[in-house]
A = this chain, B = another copy of it.
Amino acid sequence: MDLSDNTIERICKIFGYLHALEKKGVDFVSSKDLAKMVGATEYTIRKDISFLGGPGYTRKGYEVRSFKKELGQRFQLTEKRKACIIGLGRLGTALLDYENFQEDGFEIVAGFDCNVNKIERIRTSIDVFAVSRLAEIVDARNIELGIIAVPAESAQEIADQLAAAGVKGILNFSPVKISVPEGIVHVDMDFTNALRFIAARFVMMKK
């Protein structure tokens, strides 16, 4: 069965909520509650879950712990995945220490920047390197994910280097769309575009 991107995204969100609910000590959650948290209808949530053959209990909902465990196994979200950040400007260094990555399933194991002087000044517990060593370190440390935080003009070049180095996924924070070879998953997170979307959306609402 082939899940759509929308379904995968919702399931990832669900996983996040299950994680939070587990910490709060909640035992069961209904499709209605999940729907509210994910921003979808209960029908859609149940359909999504049905693709996975998830076990729900009549009049109780889904058991938080076992459901989370199952999702984790299915999508391999339990084992920590290693990531690196390229570009150690304001945003890049903020991401280096972004606790939420560590908190759930991801580990930043290296940072890169092309400015060698900058590398020596950065104060962080994470190892930082010159970009020239990207391929070497990605290989040595089994890094699966690359997070791009360089300026627009070098984003594509870094994406190419990451692809060549063998990462499986790229999260791109630069404000240009990057293209990657088939087989590598990537997501563009364009802040400015998000603001534009919000602005356009509320202009549309008035009409």
Measured CB to CB, the closest approach of chain B to A19, in angstroms, equals: 10
Say how many copies of this protein the assembly contains.
Answer: 2
A56 on interface, CB distance cutoff 8 Å: no
Contact A194 B177 (CB under 8 A): no
Q: Which of B90, B196, B202 contacts A94 (CB 8 A)?
A: B90
Most chain B C-beta atoms within 10 Å of own C-beta, residue among A183, A185, A198: A198
Stretch at the interface among A114-122, A157-165, A167-175: A167-175
Query: Are the C-beta atoms of A196 and B145 separated by less than 8 Å?
Result: no
A interface residues with partner B (beta carbon < 8 Å): 2-3, 5, 8-9, 11-13, 15-16, 20, 37-39, 74-77, 81, 83, 89-91, 93-95, 97-98, 100-101, 103-106, 144-145, 152, 168-171, 175-177, 183-187, 189-205
- A–B complex contacts, Cβ < 8 Å, 22 sampled: A9-B193, A12-B197, A13-B193, A16-B193, A16-B196, A20-B176, A75-B196, A75-B199, A76-B200, A90-B94, A90-B97, A91-B95, A94-B94, A100-B192, A145-B198, A145-B199, A169-B198, A169-B201, A171-B194, A187-B198, A189-B189, A189-B191
